[in-house]
Structure 1
Amino acid sequence: MNVIFFSAKPYDIHFFKDANKQHRHHLKFLEVPLNESTAVLAKEQDAVCVFVNDTVNAKVLQILTDAGVKIVALRCAGYNNVDLTAAQEKGIKVARVPAYSPYAVAEHTLALILTLNRKTHRAYNRVREGNFALSGLMGFDLHGRTVGLIGLGKIGLVTARILKGFGCKVLGYDITEIEEAEQIGVVLIDLDSLYRQADIISLHCPLTPQTYHLINDESIAKMKDGVMLINTSRGAIIDTKAVIKGLKTEKISYLGLDVYEEEGDLFFEDLSNKVIQDDVFMRLLSFNNVLITGHQAFFTTNALQSIAQISLQNITDLEQGKVLVNEVLP
């Protein structure tokens, strides 16, 4: 099949070309994102492959339909950027990569927790400048702390296992009953109780209408004073302005983000020579107890190999008339 990639980076090209030796599709890579202006570039393509910040709304889907596109292949797990109802109405299949490497995201979650706690990023910069003073670098033992996980899917469960290895008490909340969570020692609990009891709260749930701004003024008020908040899922689960208030009042003492609700105009690009216009994001960067990475939690060789293989397999399955096991429906 003819497959066009939007928002393609050099690493996408490398891993997808390698995986395609088995599938033998005709691949075309574009750096530009998919949106209402660029969708026309998919003319005469059978499939489009998109990432987290590409726009796949009803207007874009209509253009893709007119171009003859049969499938939107998401090279990610989330699908909040796709109008699934419109896709179904237009007969375009949507498939995702539901589990590429839960270890990649879970391990990055722990990297954020440990870095914020022991302030290794600040220590690194000090030592390079010849400053070996320890003042301001005090941390705490992770062992014995209570960590609350919101979302107990594959990533949440791997995160729980790692935290149990550190000797943490792990609380968990999910909208569905997760038997495996209890088997590994996670205490299932309601959200309000999790907010009240957790020293560290980590988000591992998808972005849905129900989870949009789940972390807001009201939920932050229920949290422990000095809580650590980590988000490696989707940016809009957090109301950023509410979190800034929490940082200013010191309700939140540590914030680790790999995602941001307005990241579409920022992440995955080199903006070092430009003035960033997002005042809210720049306010976040002004806090010395905030650590932000640019949506890199997924970024391991293992994950990228898996993403490429599963994305192309989804396209191959459609081509061969097989059941799309990773299809996303409204």
Structure 2
Amino acid sequence: MRIAMFSVQRYERVLLDEANLHHGHDLVSFDTLLGPETVSLAAGFPAVSVFVNDIVDANVLKHLAGGGTKLVATRSTGFNQIDLQAAGQLGVKVVRVTDYSPNSVAEFAVGLLLALNRKIPRAYNRTREGNFSLDGLMGFDLANRTVAVIGTGKIGRIFARIMAGFGCNLIGFDVHRSPEFEEIGGRYVDASGIEDADVISLHCPLTPDTYHLVNAQTLARTKKGALLINTSRGGLVDTEAAIEALKSGQLGGIAIDVYEQEAGLFFRDLSSTVIPDDVIQRLVSLPNVIVTGHQAFLTREALSTILETTLASISDFAAGRPLMNEIKP
């Protein structure tokens, strides 16, 4: 099957070719985002593959369907970039990657926490300039600290297990309780329990209910000086409110791998341009902030699984087999 692959990065191409060896699809890769301006590139392709920052709204889906596209395969677990209602009305099926190495994201979240707490990026930059002073580099022991895990699915549980290994106290927030989370010592609390957390780590999907889950009101209830980690979805955090909390000292620091307006920024080299997004510019200027470019998933194991699962779903569609990873409206 001919597949238009959007948002394909250079690091994906070798693994993509490897995964396609036993599927034999005709892959046409574009490094550009799918959106209203680029949807014409997909004309004549029965299947389109997208990533997290592609725009697959009702307008784009209408053009895709008009051009003969019958399947949209997102190379991600999240699918908030796709209008599922519109896809259903147009007869376009949607599949996703329901499972890949959850260790990749969980381990990266731990890395962000350690780097933020112990000021590792600041220390690294100092020593490269010959400054070996320790002023301003003090962190705190994670042992016996309280870590709030927002979302105790696969990734959240692995993150919690690692934190338990550090000797942390675990509290969880989720509409579905996990016996595994409780078995490793976690306890579920209501919203007021956030006041006890020294560290807050987000591991939940972005839905209308979780949009700006972290906002001015929730930040006002957190323990003063708490650290916030987000490796899930940028829209979970009201970035403006987080900046104000950082300026007031209510938040002790924030480390994010996702950003609510990342679509025009991430996965691109903008080092020689003037970035017009004042919010991200203010955020990265603060000394107690770490921003990475949506790389938590980026391990060989995770990416190989993502690509293999995506191509396997397309092969099932081409053969008329049931779509195990279909997302229905």
Answer whether TM exceeds 0.5 for this pair: yes
The answer for the alignment partner of 1:158 in structure 2 is 158
Query: Aligned equivalents of 2:156 and 2:171: distance in 1?
Result: 11
- Give the CA deviation at 1:69: 0.9
Query: Aligned equivalents of 1:179 and 1:321: distance in 2?
Result: 38
Query: After superposition, where does 1:1-330 map in structure 2 within 5 Å?
Result: 1-193=1-193, 195-330=194-329
- Give the CA deviation at 1:58: 0.6
- Give the CA deviation at 1:100: 1.3
Contact 2:152 2:177 in 1 (8 A): no
Query: Aligned equivalents of 1:135 and 1:177: distance in 2?
Result: 43
- Provide Cα deviations, 1:208-241, integer angstroms capped at 9, x if missing partner: 0000011111101110000101110010110011
Q: Which moved more, 1:122-131 or 1:259-268?
A: 122-131
**Structure 1, unpaired ranges of 5+:** none
Runs of 4+ in 1 over 3 A off after TM superposition: none
Query: Aligned equivalents of 2:73 and 2:250: distance in 1?
Result: 41
Matched pairs, number: 329
- AA aligned to 2:321 is K
- Give the CA deviation at 1:191: 2.5
Query: Aligned equivalents of 1:235 and 1:22: distance in 2?
Result: 35
Query: Aligned equivalents of 1:273 and 1:96: distance in 2?
Result: 34
- Provide Cα deviations, 1:182-222, integer angstroms capped at 9, x if missing partner: 122211112221x1111000000111000001111110111
- Provide Cα deviations, 1:228-273, integer angstroms capped at 9, x if missing partner: 0111001011001111110111000110010111011111000000
Contact 2:225 2:253 in 1 (8 A): yes
Contact 2:70 2:92 in 1 (8 A): yes
Contact 1:70 1:91 in 2 (8 A): yes
- Provide Cα deviations, 1:275-296, integer angstroms capped at 9, x if missing partner: 1111111110111000110111
- AA aligned to 1:50 is V
- AA aligned to 2:46 is D
* Secondary structure in 1 matching 2:21: helix
- Give the CA deviation at 1:105: 0.4
Query: Aligned equivalents of 2:121 and 2:200: distance in 1?
Result: 21
**Structure 2, unpaired ranges of 5+:** none
Contact 1:75 1:96 in 2 (8 A): yes
TM-score (norm: length of structure 2): 0.98
- AA aligned to 1:269 is R
Contact 1:99 1:154 in 2 (8 A): no
Query: Aligned equivalents of 1:31 and 1:172: distance in 2?
Result: 39
Query: Aligned equivalents of 2:60 and 2:283: distance in 1?
Result: 33
- Give the CA deviation at 1:40: 1.4
- AA aligned to 1:311 is T
Contact 2:39 2:60 in 1 (8 A): yes
- Give the CA deviation at 1:324: 1.2
- AA aligned to 1:174 is D
Query: Aligned equivalents of 2:292 and 2:230: distance in 1?
Result: 10
- Provide Cα deviations, 1:278-328, integer angstroms capped at 9, x if missing partner: 111111011100011011101111111011100101111111222211111
- AA aligned to 1:216 is N
- Provide Cα deviations, 1:8-67, integer angstroms capped at 9, x if missing partner: 111222111110001111100011110012111112211100000000001111111111
Query: Aligned equivalents of 1:219 and 1:97: distance in 2?
Result: 31
Identity of aligned residues (%): 50
